[in-house]
Structure 1
Amino acid sequence: MSFGRAPMRAAGADALDLVYQAAEIFSSIENNAREIEARAQAMCKSAAERLRLAEQRTESAEHSLREVVADADRKLSEASRALTEVELRIAAAQDEATAAEVRAQVAEAEAREAKQALALVEDAIRRRLLCASPETTRRLCEVA
């Protein structure tokens, strides 16, 4: 009868050994899972920090870009105003030059007319006043 009892004890001990082995395996699996989870959390934290830094760099770059665009826009506006002012000055100078040219042409025409009138007056003086005496005519011709 002791033969029959021994296999029961051995079967119970074997079952108990299997339970312990299963517990060790589960414990090992849990430890591995904790390690994997810890590494995953560390990777997530690292990735989140890199993302935060990248977002800061992006915001900084966008801010710098906005400043550059605003500065360029301001300079372009100033240049446009300066160009408009120069164009107005050039147009005014051209108008003044044209007016001066017209005045010069008018003055030249008046000078020609005055010269012609003076020539007519001289001729009239020679013919009417000085032609009365032949000697005076000869002297005028010598002087002229």
Structure 2
Amino acid sequence: MPPKAFGPAEADPNADVHVFRAADAPEPRTGTPPAMTRKLEGDGANLIFLTFTPGQVLRAHTTAHPITLQTLQGTLKVVTDQGEVDLVVGTVMHLRAMVVHEVSAPEDAPERNVLLLTMLTGERHSTDPTAAA
């Protein structure tokens, strides 16, 4: 999925502190892919929230950067060539760049299942020359 698929970042990359909660995730949508929004395009990482409904799938794909996946609300399943992981609240998963993976919400999942995707880009986005990279 190309990075622009997530839309522009909502937060200012020059702010010193950002706080995001599961409630900040986009409202669920029907169909594929799930609802998604880029919250931050910050130094070193992009934070993207995805909201899945029961049975919704983000089909198999790869990413250009290493990523972490963390369920903030509900329950999700991640499938890679190495097997399935039930991504419940409190679990964090790291994937190297270009690892094929699929994310879904089980049919019996709650109505709202929020995934925090962190793309570990290593890129600099702030314009503050004193900010740590």
Q: TM-score, normalised by structure 2?
A: 0.12
- Structure number with the higher helix fraction is 1
Q: Which has the higher contact order (CA 8 A, sep 6+)?
A: 2
Q: TM-score, normalised by structure 1?
A: 0.11
Larger Cα-atom Rg: 1
